[in-house]
Structure formats: C-alpha cells, structure tokens
Amino acid sequence: MLLRWFIVLFVCCALPWSALAATEIEISSPGEQSIPLALTEFLPSEGVPSAQISGELNEVLVADLDLSGLFRFVDPGAFLDDAKLIGLYSTQVNFPQWRMLGSETLIKGTYSLQGEKLIVEARLFDVVNRRLLTGRRYVGEPKDVRRMAHAFADLVLKELTGEEGPFSARIAYISDKSGDKELWLMDVDGKRPVRLTNHRSIVLNPDFSPRGKEILFTSYRANNPDLYRKEIYSGKEAKVSYKQGLNVAGRMAPSEREIALTLSKDGNPEIYLIGTSGQVRKRITDNWGIDSDPSWSPDGSRLAFVSNRQGNPHVFIADIFSGKTERLTTRGKYNATPAWGPKGERIAFTRQEGGRFDVYTIKIDGTDERRLTFGPGNSEHPRWSPDGRFIIYSSDKGGNRVIYVMRADGTGSRRLTTLESDSRHPAWSPRW
C-alpha cells in the first residue's frame, strides 16, 4: 500500500521535470578553422635591449607558425598595453584584454643578454581558459637565437596539435653556389646555409639516415657515381658502394641496417638492398626495365620505386619480404621520384604532363591522387617533412632551380633558397 503511494508521489514529482528534457543538437564543423594567435614582441628582462634578438625571435616564430597554416595572427597594431608588459605567469597576463582582441592563444617572452650568454624565456597561454599551456627557457649564445625560436615553434605545435613541429630539423640539398654541385645544409626557413662537401665534381641525391646522424649521397668524385655516407657532426666521410656503373639514390632503411639503392653492375639498373658496409644482401627487382629511386615505407617492409617495365615510367610498390610488386600509378606518361610519407598513407611523386613536371600525392592503394603544384616551370624531387605536414621540392619556375616548401595539401608555397644559384634534390632531416 505504502509502495503504491510512493509510486504516485514519484510520478507527480517527475511530471513537471519531464518538460525540461534535454534538447539534442549536432555541430558538425567549427566556425573558424584557424586559431587566433597574438604574438607579442619579446622584451628584455634585464640587461641591454637588443632589437636584433627580439626581431629575429619574432621573425622566425611568425614564419614557422604561419607556414603551419594553423594560425591567424592578431594584428600587432591593435595590441593594448599588456603587450608591453612582461608576463611569464598567467597571473601577470591581462587575459580579458587579449580576449577582447579576439585572440585565443598568446605567446609572450623575454630575453636577457649577459655578455656572450643569451637566455630566452617563452610562454604560450590559453587566453579563453586563462592558463599557461607551455613554456621553455633556452640558454645559449646570441648566434643560437634562430634555433631557439624554431624550437619554441615546434613546442607550440606540439602543445596545440599533439605532434611536434619539424622546424628544428634541417634540410640537405645540392647547390652549385660554390661553383660545383656540392652538398649543403640549411635551416628549414632557408637560413644559415652550410656546405658539407668539397668534392669538386657532381654530388647528387642526398638522404638522411632515420636518426639524422648521417647523410647518404652519390658523388662522381672518383669519376663513377658512387654512394657515400657522411657523419654530419664529425664530418667523416666514407664510400659505401662503389660498384661499376650506377650506385645512386641510396635510402637507409628505418632500422638503419640496410640501404636500398639502384645498381647497374650487371648492365641494367635494378633495386638492391646492401648492408651499411656495402655488401649486397638482396636483389629486389629483376626485369628488363630500368628500376630506380627507391623509397622506404615507414615500417620498412615495402619499397616504392620507379620502373618502366610496362612501357612508360610508373611508380611501383615492392614487398621486400615476399618480392610481390604492384603498380601504383596508372595515369601520365612519366612518373618519377616517389617519396613515401612518414605517416605511411600517401606517396608524393612527380609526373610530367604537358612537357613539364609537377608534384602529386597518391594514397598507397592508388586512390585519391592529388596534384599539388601548378603554374610554369618544373617542380621535382618532392620530399616530406618528418611530421608529414609539409613537402619540399625543387622548381625552376622562377628561372634558376631553387628549393620550395609547401603544406602537404599544396598550399602556402614559399621559396627557401636564393635565385642566384641552382639548388635541387632537397631532403628534410628527422627531428634533431
């Protein structure tokens, strides 16, 4: 009896609340796809203010973060008084002021120059939730200021995307700036170029080892295209493969135990696997056509390469364990220089159409082919950044062949090397 009354009571109480049932809605795209970011000028915390240091820090950060395509910068002309105040802690930042400017994220920082010692402190704040997202203190010399800014840009991307940026890495390329085609190294924004070889002949096809300590390249130093390896920090250099004929396009396996390359020791160029000391371990291809330009899949189980075994040059994928080979590209008359993306999903390559080369990407199942470069000139030798967000390539659209970088969807293309010299065969190093 009592239970019945309780049920009646419960129903009576529940009836009015049923009118406040939750309404369900769906939001299937964000209102804005770029994060509003306010990047303030780095201020001197102590010592002498240096316009050069603060300028370089801002310049590098703006260039790197703008290239990422993730941000929309708040106009510095609209900044209010909080931009002129040092704020390394969330309690020191006037967040409402930044929110009023429409910013969601804020970068603030300081530097202090004490003799030859430079200390840079940088912070990334979440303006909406009024909290510190990340921050770092860098200590070095004034010449390291660009590296510090690149490192913080990587950190910003890591905090906001979950994956570190590739801006602290470096790019190897071939340039004739010194008169001969030599191996050079530069920052990802094209600054601080350094020559690594002095072969005074022709150097080709550089590629980094997966850990970034060595570079493989081909050189005609001994009047034959031989494969060399070079330690970046010590500068030590050694021949890896110097068989008769071609020893080109060497690519180190993700395990760093083997090198895939093209050898023509038997007359016809074929893909081989050799050990790091140069001995042949396995022949991957064996047919009448020319097989070249191998590129490892990230898991090290497959190789993408170019072959004209079915007529025109096309990209093929070979399983190195089973030997099974499948054709990837079907369109175009000339497809070349495949580069397997670090995520393993897409392969970048070049295709000649209308008498000129352009960069394309394609899924590894042969679907979703996308053309990334347009306009005049030849765009060749595409290579991925270690995070797969960017692609570097060489192009002669401006006259001389120079290195360009763009986002993986083909947007945001910008030139890295100067037009005065010929630069080609870029390779993006792993993160250092």
Partner 1 sequence: MSVAPLRQSNAFHSDPKFGRLLLVSLIVHGLIWVAFSFDLFGTNTRPKPPIYYVDLIHKPVLNPQAGRPDPRPAKKPQAAPVKPTAQTVTPAVPKPEVKPAVKPQVKPATVAKPKPVTKPIVKADTRKDQKVQSALDEIRERQARKDAREAMKDKIAKLAASTSVAATVPADVPVGSLDGSGDEVGSAHVDFVRTVIQENWVLSPYLIDQARIADIEAKATLVYSAAGKLMSFRINAPSGNQQFDDSLKRAITKSEQLPQPLPQDLELVVTFNLKDIAAARR
Q: Which residues contact partner 1 (rule: CB under 8 A)? A: 1-2, 5, 8-9, 12, 16, 20-36, 68-70, 104, 126, 128-129, 160-162, 343, 345, 389
Per-position DSSP letters for 384-402, written without gaps between them = E-TTSSEEEEEE-TTSS-E
Closest CA to 404 of 413, 396, 412: 413
Q: Closest distance between partner 1 and the C-beta of residue 157, in Å?
A: 9
Q: Closest distance between partner 1 and the C-beta of residue 429, in Å?
A: 22
Q: Give 18 or 52: the residue with its C-beta nearer to partner 1.
A: 18
What residues contact 294, with CB distance under 8 A and at least 6 apart? 249, 251, 260, 261, 262, 271, 284, 303, 304, 305
The DSSP secondary-structure symbol of 143 reads G
The answer to whether 373 touches 361, Cβ cutoff 8 Å, is: no
**Residue 172 CB-density burial (10 A; 0-12 exposed, 13-18 middle, 19+ buried):** buried
96, 102, 105, 107: CA torsion to nearest 10: -80
Q: Give 35 or 204: the residue with its C-beta nearer to partner 1.
A: 35
Q: Closest distance between partner 1 and the C-beta of residue 24, in Å?
A: 5
> Between the CA of residue 147 and those of 70, 167, 231, 387, what are the distances in Å?
21, 9, 21, 18
Q: Closest distance between partner 1 and the C-beta of residue 166, in Å?
A: 13
Q: Give 14 or 48: the residue with its C-beta nearer to partner 1.
A: 14
**Residue 115 CB-density burial (10 A; 0-12 exposed, 13-18 middle, 19+ buried):** exposed
Q: Closest distance between partner 1 and the C-beta of residue 393, in Å?
A: 20
Q: Closest distance between partner 1 and the C-beta of residue 342, in Å?
A: 13
Q: Give 132 or 290: the residue with its C-beta nearer to partner 1.
A: 132
Q: Closest distance between partner 1 and the C-beta of residue 182, in Å?
A: 36
Q: Give 129 or 312: the residue with its C-beta nearer to partner 1.
A: 129
Q: Give 68 or 262: the residue with its C-beta nearer to partner 1.
A: 68
Q: Give 123 or 147: the residue with its C-beta nearer to partner 1.
A: 123
What residues contact 75, with CB distance under 8 A and at least 6 apart? none
